Structure 1
Amino acid sequence: MPAQFIYLDNQATTPLAPEARAAMEPWLAGPEAMGFANPHSMHRPGRAAAAAVEVAREQVAALLPKGGRLIFTSGATEALNQAIRSVPRGGIAYSAIEHSAVVNSVLASGAAAQELPVNADGLVDPDVEIAEGTGLVAVMQVNNEIGTVQPVAQLAIRAHEMGALFLCDAVQGAGKLAPPEGADLIAITAHKLYGPKGIGALWVRDGVKIASLIEGGGQEGGLRSGTLSPALCAGFGAAAALANERMETDFQHLCGLAQLARSILSRWSLNGSAAARWPGNLNLRLDGLNFPRLLSDCRTIAFSAGSACGSGTGAPSRVLSAIGLEPKEARNSIRLGFGRYTAREEVEAACHAIEAAAQAQGV
């Protein structure tokens, strides 16, 4: 990759923090170090690995509410599937801008499904009508495409008043914002907070019963069978601890980057709320823009048109459609994702290049 390459796609994934890499290394060592030991074995190396897993569990749990337990999974997709398939009764309501891991899992569950609309700002109205008999309400904390921050605390109260559980996809908010208040189930993943890919977690409030999704040896209290990786757990834990420590510093850094980008791309329209949003995400629209050409002309900059999970479909963004954009408008949009390691100089150079390339299209 060229040295001048600028990475502005932190909603898709984040770089591995050096501290997370360092925490993983002892558990990736060769045979002489015994770091490869199975954390479910009873011998001394196994017990050492198990201890590292539990330290990591505490570090990750510190990002989430008190009064719950943390189950390690392969990622947020697995965690969301397990939560949704554990609903004992009733229908499932979910916002129109949920990640496909929620939407497709709900549709595959066979439960009665209700899509909750969002307004032009990309927000769910806390007073939205929810069908009687709903057993689970699923609304994400921060949207991965447009960065809007949902009123999850109010929506959780609504769900509980109906006797329903509240599930929150906190993938984009974990380690960056306070945990979603009032949630019963929370899904997160390491690689969106500067940890390794391949590991996530499901937080379950005390007293909430869930079913296992993967059967086998009965690990994770019988709720998630399979051998845990001490290296992945340790990296996740270190990344979570660092995020907890740097939360305010990172937030202020991203606010400055967003302000800089908006000042350079001042003629572009913002998709989603200007106020209720995560500053690391800018989804911008310029009428008449040819995105594939823009991407080609700015090939030394990593940015996107929306979710990485839906980038190969060719269809307009479901999220942008939900906030009222026409297909053509949705295709005129780009997403810039800033992160902890993004430099102001990079944002300035990238935004000037994007603006120049757009002007070269005559738009």
Structure 2
Amino acid sequence: MKTLQLFRIYHSFLLKKWYLLLYIAVIIIALLSTLLIIQHVKQQDAKFNIGIVDEDHSKETKLILNSMGNGKNLSKDIRLKQYNKHQAHRLLQQQKLEGYYVFEPGMTQAFYHSGKLPITVYTYDTQSTKSIAIHQLTDSVYSRLMQAMGGGLAYTSLTPHATKHQTFILLTDLLFTGLNRTGSFDYHPLKLYDTGSYYVITGYLISIFIVFLSLFSILKMNQDTALKNRLSMFHFSFEKLTLIRSLFSLSYTIIWTVIGYLWILHSLPHTFESYNWPTVVIHLTYYVSMITIWLTIIELISFGWLNYLFKMILTLFIVLCSGMTVPTIYFKHLFGGLFIAQPFSLVTNQMLEITLNNFILDTSPVFYSSLIISIILLAITLVWRYRR
């Protein structure tokens, strides 16, 4: 029987079992949608909305506000917006603001006379984590402001003949250097994965495995009845059916792989750079290929309860031991780092880094060697089955 004809038979059988495909689609879409919603909620909860009330209205306070901008110079999770005192108080009561700063009237003059900046901080409470963080942020900003303003006073004392323009330029530089964390020194932040985004990516990778395994199992229902009985008298028929079933499942899985990744890229807040596409294609192709090869090998070498056992071991290996449910850092040193260096862990770590941070990891020798070994094992299995 020709390969194309077998494809048509499998396709017609799959159409008859359309309700099974619908169940799989609903489960996977519900899973990813839930993870994306959780990620979005957690991201919104992590944002600090802080108001600023300027009642001094001096040139210096306007300069400070321009230096702060919208909060990006302080942290990527902080949003600053200017309000009047009534608006800020109302939004704080509605818990739409975590807190607000008030530049009291005469703040600038008070600094020139006493060397202090009377900045008042209002928060919804004093015990919550966000309120404590706002007060700590205030101390940080205050100390940097004092350093900048102190530098300006020192300059005017040491150079009494400086023009107002020269003093203004120096004070501007000091403020921008003091308030911008990247301006005063070179820093390398430690980037951690957001839990919601982490499980969106790993949930997507798990869904690819579920799609392939489900299609592979559904099509076996037809192979074990009609097709197997019709082709049992032909040599190598079971192996050919298994290979066609693998290729057919692979085709549909690739469609979901592309659609699913475009979906999460559109839904996640992280900016994805287009130059990373080749690496993404390589790793997703590798991942789907490894799943296809090993499920095909299991199907060819085992039957009955042993077949189920091997599939269960492979499932646990992919889902539990490759960082998709538990980050690999927790068993990094277990068995000499075996789990973190295994092929599926390499895919998980790279997909996390490239999707969330636009960072390409160094390619491990295990990455390509494991694929080559898997292909060789599949070829050996097919030759062994052919000669039986």
TM-score by length of 2: 0.19
TM-score by length of 1: 0.20
Structure label with greater radius of gyration: 2
Q: Which has the higher helix share?
A: 2
